[in-house]
């Protein structure tokens, strides 16, 4: 299968420069997941067992196991999570990019030290991992991005942070599908979730009472206490069932390789990759089938 399509020049709306950091400063967190156990025993994550990644809807882990299975696979010569860090560095409102996980192998830590700040913790809940970054930064907002989103888009992330900065009494901002709710965003895989640092501190106090979750919104909706969540519509062009850019299985990885062969720019915008998928009907059909 090949892709032949001309792609548009990147045009991304940015928040006004005069408001940057005066209204909100955010730290981005790439969550690597929990390396505590692997199908082979021990703590190492490697491509030799990545194909055994479990479906996130049935996993009993504290978070989706596919993050650690794919985050260190290489695309264009660099680990997927390092590619993500480069894309997140384009965000206007992000000041600091971290990678956090549980019992992260030394080799993985070493891969990240040159491009972002890696943090390895004992086994803990997702909210505790994100809170570890809160302890290390004065950021008002935390951007949570699972480590399986190779096309995470700086413009979409900046849009969430800008919305959070303009919304009073807000604990959380995330994208939402008018047709399928926020769950569609997990498979779309082009953005993340923005949560206030104080809200994470509150969640951490109840971490032992929180069930496993695949998103911060899910955690908040089932956590003790009241949290104020704001959902904003994802761009209309992305609100469709046949787009899937999160890497959750081997078919997703094959799609990623195909798209990267067609887009040489590591910083390609969501508009560019969407146009490539639109031009390839078999790829769209495959993505739609896997989205369910």
Query: For 260-282, what is each residue's pLDDT tens digit?
Result: 988 877 788 999 999 999 999 99
pLDDT the model gives residue 37: 57
Would residue 248 count as lying in a domain?
A: no
- With cut-offs at 50, 70 and 90, classify the pLDDT of residue 67: low
**CATH of residue 35:** 3.90.550.10
Would residue 267 count as lying in a domain?
A: no
Quote the percentage of the chain above a pLDDT of 90.
62
R_g over Cα of the chain:
18
Would residue 268 count as lying in a domain?
A: no
User: How many angstroms separate the CA atoms of 271 and 282, rounded?
Assistant: 19
| Domains of the chain: total | 1
pLDDT the model gives residue 120: 93
pTM: 0.83
Residue 52 has pLDDT above 50, yes or no: no
User: Domain of 80?
Assistant: 18-235
Q: Could you report the per-residue pLDDT of 138-192, keeping only the tens digit for each? A: 999 999 999 999 999 999 999 999 999 999 899 999 999 998 888 899 999 999 9
Which residues, in sequence order, are CB contacts of 119 under 8 Å at separation 6+? 98, 99, 100, 101, 129, 132, 133, 136
């Amino acid at each position: 299968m090949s892709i032949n399509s001309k792609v548009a020049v990147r045009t991304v709306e940015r928040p006004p420069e005069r408001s940057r950091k005066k209204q909100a400063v955010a730290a981005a967190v790439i969550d690597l997941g929990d390396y505590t156990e692997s199908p082979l025993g021990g703590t190492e994550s490697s491509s030799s067992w990545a194909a055994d990644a479990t479906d996130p809807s049935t996993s009993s882990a504290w978070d989706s196991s596919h993050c650690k299975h794919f985050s260190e696979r290489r695309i264009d010569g660099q680990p997927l999570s390092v590619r993500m860090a480069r894309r997140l560095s384009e965000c206007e409102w992000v000041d600091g990019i971290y990678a956090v996980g549980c019992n992260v192998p030394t080799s993985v830590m070493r891969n990240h030290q040159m491009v972002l700040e890696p943090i390895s913790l004992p086994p803990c809940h997702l909210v505790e991992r994100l809170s570890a970054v809160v302890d290390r930064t004065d950021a008002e907002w935390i951007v949570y991005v699972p480590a399986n989103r190779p096309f995470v888009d700086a413009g979409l992330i900046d849009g969430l942070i800008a919305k959070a900065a303009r919304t009073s009494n807000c604990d959380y901002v995330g994208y939402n599908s008018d047709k399928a709710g926020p769950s569609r965003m997990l498979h779309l895989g082009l953005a993340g979730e923005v949560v206030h640092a104080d809200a994470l501190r509150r969640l951490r106090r109840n971490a032992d009472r929180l069930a496993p979750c695949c998103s911060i919104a899910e955690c908040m909706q089932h956590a003790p206490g009241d949290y104020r969540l704001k959902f904003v519509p994802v761009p209309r062009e992305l609100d469709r069932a046949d787009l899937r850019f999160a890497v959750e299985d081997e078919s997703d990885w094959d799609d990623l390789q195909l798209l990267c062969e067609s887009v040489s720019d590591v910083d390609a915008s969501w508009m560019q990759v969407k146009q490539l998928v639109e031009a390839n009907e078999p790829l769209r059909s495959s993505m739609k089938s896997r989205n369910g």
